[in-house]
Amino acid sequence: MASNKRGTPDLLAVISGRFVAIEVKRPGGKASKLQIAQLKRIEAAGGLAILAESVEDVIAYLAISDIEIG
C-alpha cells in the first residue's frame, strides 16, 4: 500500500539541514509531467530536487550543491 500522493519523489530527506527530494528512475527512464512539476515546486521552495538514475547521480548533485555526506 502506497502512502505517498501521486508525483511525490521516491526519497525525501534532510541532509546537512537541507531538504532533499530524489526521484529515482531506471537508466533511460522518464519522469512524468507531474513528477517534474513536483520537483520544480520543491526547488522553488528552496529544497534540492534530484532526478537520479544511480547513486553516483545523487552524490554528484549533492557535491555541486555543497552538501557533504559521510
Within the chain, where are the H helices? 33-44, 55-64
CA 65/CA 61 separation, integer angstroms: 6
**Domains in the chain: how many in total?**
1
Residue 50 belongs to some domain of the structure: yes
pLDDT at 6: 86
Predicted pLDDT at 68: 82
Grid-cell match 527530494, residue found = 21
Per-residue pLDDT, 28: 94
pLDDT at 4 (0 to 100): 67
pLDDT, block means (10 residues), the chain with 70 residues? 77 94 96 96 97 96 87
Residue 69 lies in a domain: no
The answer to whether residue 1 sits within a structural domain is no
Give the DSSP letter of residue 10: S
Angle at 56 between CA 20 and CA 17, to 5 degrees: 25
36: containing domain: 11-64
The answer as to whether 6 is a domain residue is no
Residue 53 in any domain: the answer is yes
**Does 46 reside within a domain?**
yes
Percent of the chain with pLDDT over 90: 81
